[in-house]
Structure 1
């Protein structure tokens, strides 16, 4: 793997966000995962650092961690605190569990012993460790840990076989012209061709990718509405994720025709979407979010992938997509969002339809 990839530390932070902890303490240098921490504050989570220094890398920083835990408790009175390791604290063998126990504060503390140098190199390792720690803290049950672990392992396999973690260098590519592709979709609808829109998105990124489904299709094509397929099951996942699904379902242009699963099941919901698409036999299909989870070679008609990764454009084209559109910074645009966020491609469609 020669591309920079999200680290297990960042994955642990996002998973603690999904668990709705009140405060996260990063036991490491002040700059570790700085951008992720700042973005998470848009979600209302307070992210604190123990700010380890060079001296701490040699002699340890247990007292710093203990002091930080006590200060966090006195300042915020949080119900749940996440304590996350970093390369600095984990490589020197800092005993965070011991420090947390000795800090003796009246909060539920989830200790995640993770760092960026795991042998697997997979960011999902940090998420899995967080789920196991949350189970020990009695925030989730074992069945939910097993289900999410299976999804995370499948997500890793998906990236390694079809995505950005395949191994070879992939030149960033910003995909096809949005106006050209949007006109192709509109032209198809104008002559009564059948169009399907598939949302196969990851968690909160659904707020951006679902924007195409909030285009007023019913206003312009009341007799030829696109088929809506989405992984927005409101009964699957943590409450935080279920809420996202409910918001999306409530704010699109029409009721979903098919629900393929939950927003944290994107590695497998693409398979169900693919089966539906084979039966629907559409002239044009748009797949949003994680389009490489759909084996597009088995889908009839023209196909369009909408992704947030410039390094995913080539793999998606290699898979057989006719067009690939990029939506940049989906994660940063949707962190802290409470409703659907405008996407460039949906905005282009709206402008051409008006």
Structure 2
């Protein structure tokens, strides 16, 4: 059961994966999963492409019965001997947490040269954000982040949970995946209506590294319509002063690249980790400051952004096939899905060309 009281039957993100991504954002050198070899295999591959080494203790049935302390100690010592890591995260899994493994005690006895941050989590939490919060709690205990930053992070993670329960994947028991509306037709509608109305409002409300690909669509629309008799207003959650170290770097690099290409941001709605709150902030700013929004295109995570009632069109672009139905229900039409977005932004350091961005350029 999710916090909304809805029994969700389709797959949802894991708290273990959320812990791992949060450790990446804290700039750990490596992550050790204390569990079976296959646990969170896809997440591990993605993080390794993103520059974080991932190891596993490869727990077996024997360890499920007799405990995995010796295995954890052996793997930690081997990593310490063979690598020169500054900081490594050790993450619990369903297997190690169910048997009550005391990872903190084992690490204290290991006598390691490298610094270790321990996250006691598992996949049984109703909300994946619980895993991220547990990683942040561990970071606070280690002194890696301040109490103020921890409270800020917890606030935005709880807000993200509410958005998912009210307007996202956890709002309905089962959602059939959808490829969304036809991208070519959506691009034609945006360009035609924006030229007709003379107004285009772009809201980038992206989640962390996904901003690298959704920023390309923002750039493509500026290229297509910015030089014509169309007034383009741009709001983006690209504040480079907010977020964990890696996230601030994403925002800074994207802002620099957009500026080099002549794109001016009219309003910063928040940071790249604040999509649940920055979406609300973007909506309020456009509602209060833009007299005629014309065509409104929301890129990244549109669920927190209420469709503008006086817009000619409210268009959502997401990377989630199961977000299409909730976004349609909110009033977005069309809804475009950039299906391969996540895999294309792994390990990059600049804006990535998107399928929808290329279609917009072709239509223009």
Give the structure-1-normalised TM-score.
Answer: 0.96
Is 1:160 paired with 2:171?
A: no
The match for 2:31 is: 24
Aligned mate of 1:276, from 274, 285, 293: 285
How far off its partner does 1:266 sit? 0.5
The match for 2:55 is: 48
Aligned mate of 2:247, from 241, 257, 260: 241
The match for 1:255 is: 264
Aligned mate of 2:100, from 85, 89, 93: 93
How far off its partner does 1:276 sit? 2.3
- Superposed CA deviations along residues 217-248 of structure 1, whole A, max 9, x for unmatched, are 35754242521110000111112111100111
Q: Secondary structure at the match of 1:55?
A: helix
Aligned mate of 1:319, from 326, 330, 333: 330
**Structure-2 separation of matches of 1:31 and 1:219:** 45
Shift in CA distance, 142/242, structure 1 to aligned 2, threshold 3 Å: same
The match for 2:3 is: none
Aligned mate of 2:346, from 332, 335, 345: 335
Equivalenced residues, count: 351
Q: Secondary structure at the match of 2:124?
A: coil
**Structure-1 separation of matches of 2:194 and 2:283:** 21
The match for 2:232 is: 226
Q: Secondary structure at the match of 1:271?
A: helix
Q: Secondary structure at the match of 2:169?
A: coil
**Structure-1 separation of matches of 2:223 and 2:322:** 34
**Structure-1 separation of matches of 2:341 and 2:131:** 21
Q: Judge which range, 223-232 or 138-147, deviates more.
A: 223-232
**Structure-1 separation of matches of 2:122 and 2:49:** 24
**Structure 1 gaps, min length 5:** none
After superposition, where does 1:70-219 map in structure 2 within 5 Å? 70-118=77-125, 121-191=126-196, 193-215=198-220, 217-218=222-223
**Structure-2 separation of matches of 1:262 and 1:326:** 23
Q: Secondary structure at the match of 1:31?
A: coil
CA contact (8 A) 1:18 1:241 kept: yes
Aligned mate of 1:15, from 7, 13, 22: 22
How far off its partner does 1:131 sit? 0.2
CA contact (8 A) 1:3 1:165 kept: no
**Structure-2 separation of matches of 1:221 and 1:154:** 34
- Superposed CA deviations along residues 293-346 of structure 1, whole A, max 9, x for unmatched, are 011154522110001111110110010112100011322221211111111111
How far off its partner does 1:215 sit? 1.8
The match for 2:296 is: 285
**Structure-1 separation of matches of 2:196 and 2:166:** 38
**Structure-1 separation of matches of 2:353 and 2:295:** 22
**Structure 2 gaps, min length 5:** 1-7
- Superposed CA deviations along residues 109-143 of structure 1, whole A, max 9, x for unmatched, are 1000000113xx11000000000101111111111
**Structure-1 separation of matches of 2:174 and 2:221:** 40
Supply the RMSD in Å over aligned alpha carbons: 1.4
CA contact (8 A) 1:297 1:319 kept: no
**Structure-1 separation of matches of 2:274 and 2:67:** 39
**Structure-1 separation of matches of 2:222 and 2:215:** 13
CA contact (8 A) 1:27 1:49 kept: yes
